[in-house]
Amino acid sequence: MKKQRKVALITGSAKGLGKMTALSLADAGCDIVINYVNSDREAQELKAHIEAKGVRCLAIRGDVADFGQMKELVEQAVSELGGIDILINNAGPFIRERRLFAEYELREIEYLVNGNLLGVMQLDHLVLPLMRRNRWGRIVHFGFGHAAEARGWPHRAVYAAAKVGLVSFTKTLAVEEAANGITVNMICPGDIRGANKEKTIAEVEHEVDEESPRGRPGAGEDIARVIAFLCEERSDFITGNMMDVSGGLDPIRTIVGAHAPGAN
């Protein structure tokens, strides 16, 4: 099928921050590839919503931790939409339960690293030739607040290690691909929870969040609007950056001591 617009692939985009990003890029005139694992109903509903905006949309199942599934996803996007110009690596497995590193199972360690680091690198590698061919591309990785400082994050050891590794990769890839018209940046969301991930700023701006230095909770729009800006044509001079969008909140505030899980 003939390619008419910029095509944006957003991993993990049937719900949450990925959904808000997909809607924002659709509003900017991009054709959209929605990716999901289990949320088929939500993905199909979002696909219909995006197509009603007058752009094309695919909804493709695939686990970012599985290279074979990502390869098939990219091939389908190229076949049906003509390419991929924008890649938003939103998906990444996360275990919310607080756990010491010694309490993780090996399969969990492998899945977290594959989903948050290796899988991201592999997907970038699949998409880069398409972007290089057009001498234009936008890649956005997802991190966490203060990831660029490579601080320890107790109870989040594996996830944090994978994301901090992704910081270095983001900076390297940004330099390597700048001459090809490809920018690579990382967005680091604050602690945006539950339904707020799919809310606009207007919907939360009068709410009070006592933990947030800004005073209000974050919303999905806070993240999506920054990503949309990074993907603009004239944002080509912004690359290799780690952008905290957190309202000033430091997420690494866990105290490990005598009452920590696993402590003697």
For residues 147 and 227, which has the higher predicted lDDT (pLDDT)? 227
The pTM assigned to this predicted structure is 0.92
Q: What share of the chain is helix, strand, coil (3-state, %, to 5)?
A: 45, 15, 40
Examine the pLDDT at 260 and tell me if it is beyond 50: no
The pair phi, psi for residue 214, each rounded to 5°, is -70, -30
pLDDT digit string (tens) for 7-43? 999 999 999 999 999 999 999 999 999 999 999 999 9
At 255, the pLDDT band (50, 70, 90 cuts) reads very low
pLDDT in tens, 148-162: 888 888 999 999 999
Edge-to-edge strand order for the sheet containing 31-36? 57-61, 31-36, 7-10, 86-89, 137-142, 182-189, 242-245
Structure tokens at 34: 């929605």
pLDDT of the residue at 3: 58
List, for residues 118-144, the tens digit of each pLDDT value: 999 999 999 999 999 999 999 999 999
Asked if 86 and 244 touch (Cβ cutoff 8 Å), the reply is no
Tell me the per-residue pLDDT of 67-117, one tens digit each, with 9 for 90 and over: 999 999 999 999 999 999 999 999 999 888 999 999 999 999 999 999 999
> What is the average pLDDT across 242-251?
90
Rounded Cα distance, 81 and 165, in Å:
32
pLDDT at residue number 250: 85
Q: In degrees rounded to 5, what are phi and psi of residue 88?
A: -110, 110
Please state, rounded to an integer, the average pLDDT across all residues of the chain: 93
pLDDT tens digits for 86-99? 999 999 998 889 99
- What domains appear along the chain, each with residue ranges and CATH number? 7-245 (3.40.50.720)
**Any idea which of 56-65, 106-115, 127-136, 252-261 has the lowest mean pLDDT?**
252-261
Residues 6+ apart with CB under 8 A from 140: 86, 87, 88, 89, 184, 185, 186, 187, 227, 230, 231
Q: Residue 251's pLDDT band (boundaries 50, 70, 90)?
A: confident
pLDDT for 258 equals: 40
Range with the lowest mean pLDDT among 69-78, 192-201, 246-255? 246-255
